[in-house]
Structure 1
Amino acid sequence: MIYIHDFDAAILLFIKNNMHSYLMDKTMIFMTRLGNGGLIWFVICILLILSKRYRRAGFTALTALVITTILGEGIIKHIVRRARPFTNIEDMKLLIARPISYSFPSGHTGASFAAATVLSKYFKKYSLFIFVLAVLIAFSRLYLYVHYPTDVLAGVILGIISGIMANSFVNKYVYKRKE
């Protein structure tokens, strides 16, 4: 466990000491706000659901968001109860409001990768863009010192698994009957 903590701390320190600038600060604040509450992904899901042609993609992505939220925010965070990195540094000045929930796993990252996993299946041509957006949202959580790297890694894994589960569930139980 000490090695994981040292790994997490070393990466956060590297980001803090080598990557901060005015432009990066503004960009990372914007990226994290896109991910607040899965906002960007939720909006995309609703827009897709409103289109008959893309309804299945939107519904599947929304299902993935629900799965990752229930597992990550509703269950895992309350079992692990990991404090956020800024709580270990006295007088740490954050660029965003201090999150009050637990740190592990990253909800922003889980939602981003859940949606990206599903959307990249339906929109292969845009897969790179979709995953770049997910990675930027995930990285913003490290940059802003509100998650450890292992929180973000767990969010990636949880999100991908949630996306796969949603695809399987929707294909087997929702759209299978209609085909």
Structure 2
Amino acid sequence: MEFFAHWDQAVFYSINHLQNPFLDALSLWVVETRQLTWLVLMILFTFLSKRKDRWRIAIVGILLLVSVDFLTHLFLKPFFHRLRPCHVLQNVILRVPCPASASFPSGHVFDIFTLAVFFGFYYPKWIGTLSLVTILVSLSRIYIGVHYPLDVLGSAALGTLAAFLGRMIEKKLKRKQS
């Protein structure tokens, strides 16, 4: 366990202590446009798609996102109550105010992995772009000083699991319509 705690802090500091004006701007943009980014992604996939089932996919995606946010903030964060690095570590470069909520899971990372993996099932040609967005969002959470790397990795795993669950739900809905 001590190995993981040491690794978590070492990787956190190596990412958090990077100094780059472009990364500053990009990370702040990710923070400020969180819900807008997800909404734009869903709208793009829905309207650019020629799939006949695109509306069902979009509705399941929206419901999945709302469910993940609800689960994160009302249950998982209070249950795990992991303190954020900006609350417990010294020499954190904090690029935004330190949130009062718990560190795990990261809502941003949970959301983006849920949507990226879910939409990746239906729009495989977008997997490269979706992967880039998930990486940028994930690294930004560490870079701005509000999440540990293990928070990000765990949230990515939860988001991936939620996407698979969403896929199962969408398939059941599809079968009922057939």
- Structure 2: give runs of 5+ residues left out of the alignment: none
Secondary structure of the structure 1 residue equivalent to 2:176? coil
Q: Distance in 2 between matches of 1:98 and 1:88?
A: 11
CA offsets per residue over residues 113-147 of structure 1, 9 Å max, x none?
Answer: 00001111111111110121111111100000100
**Identity percentage of aligned residues:** 26
Deviations 1:28-49 (A, max 9, x none): 11123333xx431134335656
User: Match for 2:113: what amino acid?
Assistant: F
Relative to structure 2, which stretch is displaced further, 25-34 or 148-157? 25-34
Q: What letter is aligned with 1:26?
A: A
Number of equivalences = 175
- Runs of 4+ displaced beyond 4 Å: 46-53, 90-93
Deviations 1:24-72 (A, max 9, x none): 111111123333xx43113433565678842122122223313322332
- Matched with 1:39 is 36
Task: Measure, in 1, the Cα distance between the counterparts of 2:160 and 2:116.
Answer: 8
Matched, 1:68 2:85: no
Is residue 113 from structure 1 mapped to residue 102 from structure 2 by the alignment?
A: no
Contact 1:114 1:160 in 2 (8 A): yes
**Which deviates further from its counterpart, 163-172 or 81-90?**
81-90
SS at match of 2:24: helix
Name the aligned partner's letter for residue 56 of structure 1.
R
Query: Aligned to 1:131, what secondary structure does the other structure show?
Result: helix
TM-score (norm 1): 0.86
CA distance in 2, matches of 1:134, 1:34: 14
* Unaligned segments of structure 1, at least 5 residues: none
Superposition map of 1:157-176 within 5 A: 157-172=157-172, 174-176=173-175
Match of 2:122 in 1: 122
